[in-house]
Amino acid sequence: MKKNTLQRSLAISFGTYTFITILMSTMFFLSDGFSTNYAPTLDALFEFLLFSMVYGFSFYIFNIEKLTDSSKRIIHFCLNLVVFVLCFVILRGTFSKLSFILASVFMFAAFYLIAALLGSLIRKLNYLYFEKK
């Protein structure tokens, strides 16, 4: 596997930050109530930035040569899961509701599974495309 560079990690981080910010802003503007309680605040944007930075730099885990591929994937998943749940719990301000924490865990697991499947499909298509040439 190629070494991740700082430039690639920053590109992943800021791409993720842009996606999350656009998604949350769109959800706010499409909501019926148009309540300012759900508008992305500076605190929320900072939390999105922290999550995006951890996500972007978490790909360095795959460069550790002493770990097996499955342990790298598990560490990557757990690190991002913890940061995701913390960001959403802090963003919501709900530390005591177990149902909200479980919902955020299941939501992250679904996003991670979809991203892993898409990444696998893209790698397979690239392999098939470049293999024929």
**Euclidean distance between the first and the last CA atom of the chain, given in angstroms as a whole number:** 22
Please determine, for residue 2, whether its predicted confidence score (pLDDT) is greater than 60.
no
Mean pLDDT of 94-119: 82
At 23, the pLDDT band (50, 70, 90 cuts) reads confident
> Between these two residues, 93 and 122, which has the higher pLDDT value?
122
pLDDT of residue 53: 87
- On the 0-12 / 13-18 / 19+ scale of CB atoms within 10 A, 48 is buried
Of 17-26, 33-42, 46-55, 89-98, where does the model show the most confidence?
46-55
pLDDT of residue 33: 62
